[in-house]
Structure 1
Amino acid sequence: YLVLSNGILFLYSERTDATPLLSITMGGEHCGGCRRSNNTDHPHAFQVILTERPPLVLSANNEEDMADWMQLLCQSVSKGVIPQGVAPTLCIPCCLVMTDRKLLTCHQDCQTSFFRSLGSADICDVISVSLETEKEYCVIEFAADSAQFLPPWVLYFSGREERDRLLQELNSTWKSIFQANLPHREMRDPLVQKRCSEALELMKSAWQRADSLARGRAQREPWC
């Protein structure tokens, strides 16, 4: 029987037991997240990745329960890598796909390589892009009178080169539609600058932690 409380995962032999068999601090350095388990006979199985011992293999009642547990566990882990004094910002890892008419955000399942769409926008509804030259993000703004109202998209990248490559392609496609360059603006809003900088620091911290865990487990079972 499992209980997730205040970022700690407790494992009990029975639901009525008062003393857990095992407790894991999800936001600490001893846990690296979770993943699906494809090498077990149990249906709807997943693993909690531990840095100092083999993964903890768990099984849910159905696919929906497994997805809920994995989401909650990953959220608990991510809260543990927030730098002190930095407020968390909701971010979804994704890839961006661009056609001659559409922008599509997609998420890839590391275990199945299946892509699902998170959202889409018409390129003709894009009105401008705001950015800080030395920061790895940009804000795509959409027309308020478009058929489908969209709030601004804040996109973060692993490097400025990736950001600039997207903007170059987006400008080229936008120009083919409107016969003009897509307006680029320097981000001046201090509140947006602060929030985006904090989100970048959070992601960099998570990436560094993931790299450290990967190096530490290089001789053991790989994980995503």
Structure 2
Amino acid sequence: MLAASILLFANCTSSVTELWPTAINVDRKRGCAEIREVNWAGSMKNDGTYDGDDDFIEIQNTDCNKPIDIADWRIELTGDVKRIYYVPKVGNTTIQPGKFAVIIAKSGGAFRDQGNADYTPVVLEGLSIPERNWSITTRTAENFLMESGINTTEADDAQSRNFPLSGSVDGFTTRSMERTEDQFEEEGGSVSTWHASTPCNETSPSQITTLYGTGCGTGQIGISGRYVHPDYSQRTFATPGEKNTPDYK
């Protein structure tokens, strides 16, 4: 009996040096990679063709102090729908400090890879963000919380409750929901944290009023971000893979 017990314990292979992955021993800290832009509104071609499922999520390595790999990260979507997505191990899923990763729903949509080395989006087939009542949480491959509370539950009145904090689709244009570039680092669930993507010197649909963002130079009028496909750039306003548009003041 004693010999059998010794044999049983001899087969155990645990080690006190094996650490359960945490933010500390994988050199991460919560929130060091932030969701900076969410496109829930789909895309609009220059000819007016609308695709409500052409969505993306942009993540920036804001303060991780080293490159991070988002392969196998969990994107948890809750609200009217509950889904868990895993970032696929395809292409370049490493984000250098200060740079962006863009997770797109469609390889042939407005936010596709156009052969630019500075923009290599990750295609996550099936990614779909509703037009209302959603919340996004991100967890690393080691299963610790990176960011939570990117949501649409805060509003000033009952009529608009549960609609996205920003971004829009109005039948003429679509606009992504961009995180405000300020110094206050507010939580993702605050209405003041977000604004709708607005290109510099944009002309309104009526062609009468010119809408000016802040900090705009003298570039093209009403043209979207540099990585939005040219077939969409006049009516799909977003900045995947680059700094967000200036805030209205």
TM norm. shorter chain > 0.5: no
Q: Compare relative contact order (CA 8 Å, sep 6+) and give the higher one, 1 or 2.
A: 2
